[in-house]
Amino acid sequence: MCMNCGCGRPNDDKGDSANITAADLRGAADSNDQTLRESAQHILESVELLDASRRDSSGLAEPAGATGGQGGGRGTPATES
């Protein structure tokens, strides 16, 4: 489906390279030693962060501060974030 439109065909970009396919997600996952599910979850988490940042008056997410995020644990060892 172009994975972003919801048509149910994960390998069909419908002739538009801007659409995300399973091959695109697999390439991103492979480049970070992640599973498809892990990469997809990180994308969802990023969208949640972007949505939350829009509610901030400056339009930017707030930094974690000097001590960092509590219980962080995102990403894989190669891409800890």
Instruction: Please state, in angstroms and rounded to a whole number, the distance separating the CA atoms of residues 22 and 17.
Output: 12
Report pLDDT digits (tens) over 12-65.
Answer: 999 999 999 999 999 999 999 999 999 999 999 999 999 888 776 555 556 666
| Tokens standing for residue 81 | 């974030």
Instruction: Please state, in angstroms and rounded to a whole number, the distance separating the CA atoms of residues 53 and 59.
Output: 5
Query: How much is the pTM?
Result: 0.61
